[in-house]
Chains A and B, each alone.
Chain A
């Protein structure tokens, strides 16, 4: 018995939690962490599907998502540092306008 439905349900639940975090939190660090949760949930769906059909493609896709997450988080955290130096806050509402 393979828990594929449960795997997809957990992946969906984690993704939903990430969406809630992006929408509800106002701290840039928490927004980035929620994006990490969403990427991880998407990768988990790939791995579950790959395990279900016994193909390595799902794991390959997870590796690509991993590389993408690493690139995204390095740029995102550099932006967070830069924004904090300029505005002295991490509140997304304070920096919602394009020209400061």
Chain B
């Protein structure tokens, strides 16, 4: 059990260091995703499977997809094309792939060994978390929803394209 913990920790830290030292944003994103997956494995070992799933779905899924979309939208021209070509070389994706394979092997080993949740730790299940979340922390949930609404409105406003100058006289600015 501890070997899984330490391996995942090493993968997390090394992947984060790799992320900080990349020149290309897409390479850094790959390393960041591996780092987040490693943290998810750490959560799983610590007996928090619900949070581990959320880490994979929301952090490594949704938020990283936002980053990928922005990198695509920026479309930095010829350097980006060259970087894309460089991305297809094995030397670029082999390191994140090896790290992801290590994490996958750990996960499979945990599942096969039947030690879920780990016997060393009494896990906190999703039910307990949900009861606390919608019990004593209900006001926090409401505040989080308002924060997300604010984020939505702000992103919509910032992404709003200005109307071309000829039509701008007829269209009232909101």
Could you list which residues of chain A lie within 8 angstroms of chain B, going by C-beta atoms?
1-3, 6-7, 10, 13-14, 17-18, 20-21, 24-25, 27, 29-30, 32-34, 36-37, 40, 44, 47-48, 50-51, 54-57, 59-60, 62-64, 66-75, 77-82, 84, 90
6 cross-chain pairs, A with B, having the tightest CB-CB distances, nearest first: A71-B151, A78-B158, A67-B144, A56-B132, A78-B155, A56-B128
Q: How far is the CA of A20 from the CA of B124 in the complex (A)?
A: 33
Indicate if the CB atoms of B13 and A14 lie closer than 8 Å: yes
Query: Is B62 an interface residue, CB under 8 A from the partner?
Result: yes
Q: Are A13 and B13 in contact (CB under 8 A)?
A: yes
Count of A-B residue pairs with CB < 8 Å: 157
B residues adjacent to A (C-beta < 8 A): 2, 5-6, 9, 12-13, 16-17, 19-20, 25, 28-29, 32, 35-36, 39, 42-43, 46-48, 50-51, 54-55, 58-59, 62-63, 66-67, 69-71, 73-74, 120-122, 124, 128-129, 131-133, 137, 140, 144, 147-148, 150-152, 154-155, 158-159
With a cutoff of 8 Å between Cβ atoms, the chain B residues found around residue A14 in the complex are 12-13, 16, 35, 39
Minimum Cβ distance to chain B for residue A63 (Å): 6
How far is A54 from B122 in the complex, measured between Cα atoms in Å?
A: 7
Q: Which of B16, B48, B73, B133 has the most CB of A within 10 A?
A: B16
Residue in A1, A36, A80 whose beta carbon sits within 8 Å of that of B70 in the complex:
A80
What's the nearest-Cβ distance from chain A to residue B76, in Å?
Answer: 9
Contacts of B133 in A (CB 8 A): 56, 60, 63
Task: Point out the residue from B20, B29, B51, B121 that lies within 8 Å of A62, measured CB to CB.
Answer: B51
Q: How far is the CB of A76 from chain B (nearest CB, A)?
A: 9
A69 touches B63 (CB 8 A): yes
Is the CB–CB distance between A64 and B48 below 8 Å?
Answer: no
A30 touches B28 (CB 8 A): yes
Q: Is the CB of A36 within 8 A of B2?
A: no
List residues of chain A with CB within 8 A of the CB of B63.
36, 69-70, 73
Alpha-carbon separation in the docked complex, A75 to B70 (Å): 12
Chain B residues whose C-beta falls within 8 Å of the C-beta of A51 in the assembled complex:
46-48, 121, 124
Question: How far does the alpha carbon of A80 sit from the alpha carbon of B70 in the complex, in Å?
Answer: 8
